[in-house]
Amino acid sequence: MARRDRPVSQRQAWWLLAAALGAFLPLTPHLPLWLALGSGSVMLLRGWITYRQWHLPPRWLLALLVIAGTAAVGFEYRTVFGRVPGVALLGIFIALKLLELRAARDALAVVLLCYFLVLAQFMFTQTIATALVAILTIVLTTATLAAAADDRPAPQLLLRRSGLMLAQALPFMVLLFILFPRVQGPLWGLPQDRITATTGLSDSMAPGSIAELSQSDAIAFRVKFSGPVPAQSQLYWRGPVMSRFDGRNWRATRSMGTQSTPPYPLTGASVDYELTLEPHGKPWLFALEHPDAVPANSQFSDDLQLLSREVVRNRTRYSLRSYPDTQLLFKDTATNLREALALPRDGNPRIRAAAAEWKTRHGDDATAIVAAAEDFFGRQLLAYTLTPPMVLDDVIDGFLFETKRGFCEHFASAFAFSLRAAGVPARVVTGYQGGELNAVDGYLVIRQYDAHAWTEAWLPERGWVRIDPTAISAPRRIADHFVAAVPAGEALPFLARANMSWLRDLRNRFDAVANGWNQWVLGYTPQRQREFLQSLGLEAPDWQQMTAVLAVLSGAVLLVLTAWILYQRKQIDPVRRAWLNFTRRLAKRGVQWHDWEGPQDFARRASLALPTHAASIQAITESYSRLRYAPQATPADLSHLKNQIRQFHP
């Protein structure tokens, strides 16, 4: 019988089922419930068939199940191509492959599918937890591969052997990782599925849209400052700029622009920092107001927003220098100014009347009109809240004169509307304000609940000026943190509550570890590789130099491993080494020797298990006992023992 046609034993079937479950279960959160339950049930059925030793189902039935499963995936995703549909198909195939597990070649196919499903985990997440689960699954799958060849050794021996082999391969993995870093972009260039969604700021803003983010503690980005962290009131992280207003929604124009340097003079003290942006599925970048240049592959838009030339689908790191005290004093285009004055033809009559009164009183003095608007907002006694009430019609009037309760987008939208109604160009800027310093690693962490909106007004003598109307009614939101401005009794994000300080400290420690993983493992980009190689004296290595370095370092690792193996071998005296060789041969026949077991006891147990070899086992054991315990053992006795073991083939 050919080796590949050798039937699969019951123990091998259990090993293969365990490996398949270990590879499939981590993927179930990313798959439809029906598929996870269906494939899981098929695997459990295979376990019951193995336990009861029933016959496997006919191949024609499996063929029908494959067709049905493929059709179901196509119906679920409207395609069978792509990341998620492909993984879903593999989940179905590995479950059905277990039902036709008859020969060694079927076992090899299951093992290869397990390895690929382990890789598929990194197509969804690349966290530390994912890596740890993948390592455990690889150890189990490698032990299964060994069991598929010979299932007689004990499970713990196969797992230990698998772990040792993978540990020996670890130095080579590190070398390959350092010399050939991960490719930037989706894993191996796989496109992101259209159904994949990300959270964060949008290119439009309606009443309540930013308030929804206030309950999310997901990280938007992290910042590492070269010097002291600026005051909280200076931490305005500029994002989408919105100039179009239809009476309810503000929208960004998202014009790319062609500028890589700002059109305004930079003044005041500079702040240097490195920003690590989490993927959000949009083209904009975030920066502390106001940067002196743009990151690579990005530009300033016409409204001074940083836009990447590609959608941010991967964690992105860039360094910037900003000047927070800079005034946006430059000559803006007439088109932008006209757009910043546009209002719907009707709606919100009360704030329009108030703005008309400011215009009558101050004429074309934009500075005085802005001061009048600030005074008006201060006298309205507006309240900052995470749960603003819904207003269906005339949302600006409803907020200012009726509910008087709103989140930052209500303040920014109402202030920009009132200035436009008074003839002053204004627009809404969204982004994030503030952040929380993680004392463990020194990074400032900006989360989704730090999302914020403010207003920019055009003053002819000063250019675009930031005015944050939220600070008029809730100054603690800007000076401290949004939690400080929320009225008592309102629902806060779980970890932002005052009585959760110990849990926040624990979260900060986990965040610091995760950030280190992101920065030094996932963030080991070609740029960081070049910097590392330059520190070693390799300024611009080509593929020939890289191959030579890899060969030399791999050779060094092999020498170290060889020396370690030889050293371990020398620690065992020749008599014990011969005995271990003998016990390994018996272990292959299912007779495992234990360290606590004496040679004579082991020989009696082995003779009972293998009666046809009882005489040889007893003879070898007596030779070993004489060498180990007799006072007059000679080198000839050792040679005789080795010959006995060499001729022993159980």
Identify the CA nearest to 243 among candidates 373, 412, 95, 390. Answer: 412
Side chain identity at residue 380, one-letter code: Q
Beta bridge partners of 79: none
For residue 136 the two structure tokens come to 């455990």
Residue 292 to residue 265: CA distance in whole angstroms = 9
Residues 455 and 419 sit within 8 Å (Cβ to Cβ): yes
Cis peptide bond upstream of 481, omega within 30: no
Report residue 592: phi and psi, to 5°.
Answer: -95, 130
C-alpha angle 403-493-210 in degrees, rounded to nearest 5: 50
Annotated active-site residue in 106, 151, 303, 468: 468
Identify the CA nearest to 157 among candidates 650, 587, 605. Answer: 587
For residue 543 the two structure tokens come to 């593929």
Identify the CA nearest to 388 among candidates 240, 478, 487, 466. Answer: 487
CB neighbours of residue 388 within 10 Å: 19
SS3 call for 179: helix
Identify the CA nearest to 421 among candidates 368, 335, 336, 344. Answer: 344
Residue 21 to residue 114: CA distance in whole angstroms = 9
**DSSP 8-state assignment for residue 349:** H
Catalytic residue status for 30: no
Annotated active-site residue in 290, 410, 452, 481: 452
SS3 call for 43: helix
Residue 326 to residue 541: CA distance in whole angstroms = 42
Cα–chain center distance at 32: 21
Identify the CA nearest to 114 among candidates 91, 147, 88, 86. Answer: 91
Catalytic residue status for 408: yes
Residues 293 and 346 sit within 8 Å (Cβ to Cβ): no
Give every CB contact of residue 98 below 8 A, 6+ residues apart in sequence.
16, 17, 20, 42, 43, 46, 110
Catalytic residue status for 649: no
Question: What string of DSSP letters covers 393-452?
Answer: SSHHHIIIIII-EE-HHHHHHHHHHHHHHTT--EEEEEEEE--EE-TTT-PEEEEGGGEE
Residue 34 to residue 40: CA distance in whole angstroms = 10
Annotated active-site residue in 302, 408, 450, 511: 408
Unique residue bearing structure tokens 């836009």: 307
Residue 407 to residue 209: CA distance in whole angstroms = 9
Residues 400 and 351 sit within 8 Å (Cβ to Cβ): yes
- Residues carrying an active site annotation: 408, 452, 468
